[in-house]
């Protein structure tokens, strides 16, 4: 590779500050250091967590940054000590690490690797160090990825090698939202055959949770959203019942309790709203109900102890509990063999230059997933 070992100048969408449009800039991407990989990003999608960081989060220190964490691409070069990747490999860079060596990676109970940035820098939403610079300033890599750039540098513990024939403009979705929702149902909740489930929030994450409930054999899947335009898609992924909380003059937990003889077996919150988080816990049945929190916010939430004392379990999930190196290549194969859907999540396709249109569509609930062509 003619570029190996050199600084690469390329296009990226820079978020200079919160609540402002992203700016297409020429940035410099340094060569990979010990253990790192430089990747040419081919395609990237937009997840609600970008909207959260730009507009909703309370902590505003994580700027300037390059957003994007649902990308896929091709290895351009590798740094010293990297023997398991080579230029030309198709890869998905992920915001979640699997170092394979820490006690968390060695335990089958969790995918929360001890080396993950999220354990130490969640308020910044990235490592404080970066290989990106623009106009003489360091630019952060959002959630350690920053896939709205033609090139990124990332440690090998965050990178997954995938099938040579995988279509990068679809499997990029597995880098976050779809794996998260799907795994929330099949791993974290552990949805069982014949069970009754409720999914709150029908963005890509919630729809993937619906798909997980269906694949796990749930007999009834309630799809709950305040935007009724999402119901048609939810049907595609296997939802059987549709509820708009705004259409009732009582809490949706009471509506669900009446419809299900006391509450659902599994409820999954895929919104990112603490009032909804409380509501989905209330919606699951006493004795054995399991509630999984997926939506991300930095606002505290509360619940009455009796909710847990009565036998409910309240859990959270990071990337659906998937250990990336063990599971993402399998999910790519599951897509290629038709076991899971990906195409059905894609409602828009755009070029990187149209990034602000994509942000607006996501912010206003008009798209499920928009795929951006990053490299021409
Ligand atoms: P999205 O914006 O596409 O979808 C959210 C949905 O929630 C929308 O359809 C919206 O209409 C609906 N909604 C809003 N208020 C509601 C309410 N009161 N009741 C019911 N539905 C309501 O977002 P997404 O990309 O699907 O992401 C969903 C959440 O998951 C976000 O909070 C995101 O940050 C989080 N997330 C978490 C992880 C993780 O690892 N835990 C990973 C990815 C995303
Ligand atoms: Zn680890
Ligand atoms: Zn995400």
For 104-163, the pLDDT digits (tens) are 999 999 999 999 999 999 989 999 999 999 999 999 999 999 999 999 999 999 999 999
Which DSSP helix (H) or strand (E) runs through 157? Answer: none
For 312-327, the pLDDT digits (tens) are 999 999 999 999 999 9
State if residue 18 touches ligand 1 by the CB under 6 angstroms criterion. no
Which DSSP helix (H) or strand (E) runs through 308? Answer: helix 305-309
Residue 82: is its pLDDT beyond 80?
yes
Mean pLDDT over residues 73-101, rounded?
98
pLDDT of res. 1: 66
C-alpha of residue 164 to centroid of ligand 2, in Å:
26
Identify whether the C-beta of residue 369 lies closer than 8 Å to the C-beta of residue 204. yes
pLDDT of res. 297: 85
Nearest ligand 1 atom to the CA of 245 is 19
Q: Could you tell me the CA-to-CA distances from 155 to 43, 81, 259, 316 in Å, in that order?
A: 19, 11, 49, 26
List the helix and strand counts (H, then E) for the chain. 11, 18
Domains, the chain, ordered by start: 13-18+52-64+88-132 (no CATH), 178-320 (3.40.50.720)
pLDDT of res. 303: 87
Residue 96's nearest CA partner among 315, 292, 296, 324 is 324
Cα(346)–Cα(358) distance, integer angstroms = 12
DSSP letter string, 18-83: TTS--EEEEEEEPPP-TTEEEEEEEEEE--HHHHIIIII-S---S-SEE---EEEEEEEEE-TT--
* pLDDT-above-90 percentage for the chain: 92
Question: In this predicted structure, which of 176-190, 267-281, 282-296, 329-343 has the lowest mean pLDDT?
Answer: 267-281
State if residue 271 touches ligand 1 by the CB under 6 angstroms criterion. yes
> What's the pTM?
0.97
Mean pLDDT over residues 223-251, rounded?
97
State if residue 203 touches ligand 1 by the CB under 6 angstroms criterion. yes
């Amino acid at each position: 590779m003619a570029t190996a070992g050199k600084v690469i100048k390329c296009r990226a969408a820079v978020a200079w500050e919160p609540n402002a449009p992203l700016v297409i800039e020429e940035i410099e991407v340094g060569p990979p250091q010990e253990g790192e990989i430089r990747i040419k990003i081919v395609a990237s999608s937009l997840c609600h967590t970008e909207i959260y960081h730009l507009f909703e989060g309370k902590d505003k220190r994580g700027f300037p940054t390059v957003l994007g964490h649902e990308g896929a691409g091709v290895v351009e070069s590798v740094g010293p000590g990297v023997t398991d990747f080579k230029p030309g490999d198709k890869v998905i860079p992920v915001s979640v690490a699997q170092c394979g060596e820490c006690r968390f990676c060695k335990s089958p109970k969790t995918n929360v690797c001890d080396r993950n940035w999220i354990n130490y820098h969640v308020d910044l939403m990235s490592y404080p160090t970066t290989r990106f610079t623009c106009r003489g300033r360091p630019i952060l890599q959002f959630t350690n990825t920053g896939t709205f750039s033609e090139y990124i540098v990332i440690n090998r513990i965050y990178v997954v090698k995938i099938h040579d024939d995988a279509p990068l403009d679809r499997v990029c979705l597995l880098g976050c939202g779809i794996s998260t929702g799907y795994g929330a149902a099949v791993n974290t909740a552990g949805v069982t055959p014949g069970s009754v489930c409720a999914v709150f929030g029908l963005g890509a994450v919630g729809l993937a949770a619906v798909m997980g409930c269906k694949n796990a054999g749930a007999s009834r899947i309630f799809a709950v959203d305040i935007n009724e335009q999402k119901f048609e898609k939810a049907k595609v992924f296997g939802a059987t019942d549709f509820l708009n909380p705004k259409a009732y003059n009582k809490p949706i937990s009471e509506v669900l309790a009446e419809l299900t003889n006391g509450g659902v077996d599994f409820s999954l919150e895929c919104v990112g709203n603490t009032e909804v988080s409380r509501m989905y816990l209330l919606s699951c049945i006493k004795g054995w109900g399991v509630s999984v929190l997926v939506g991300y916010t930095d606002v505290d939430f509360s619940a009455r102890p009796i909710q847990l004392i009565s036998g409910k379990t309240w859990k959270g999930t990071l990337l659906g509990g998937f250990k990336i190196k063990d599971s993402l290549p399998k999910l790519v194969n599951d897509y290629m063999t038709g076991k899971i859907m990906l195409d059905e999540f894609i409602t828009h396709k755009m070029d990187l230059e149209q990034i602000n249109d994509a942000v607006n569509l996501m912010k206003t609930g008009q798209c499920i997933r928009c795929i951006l062509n990053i490299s021409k």
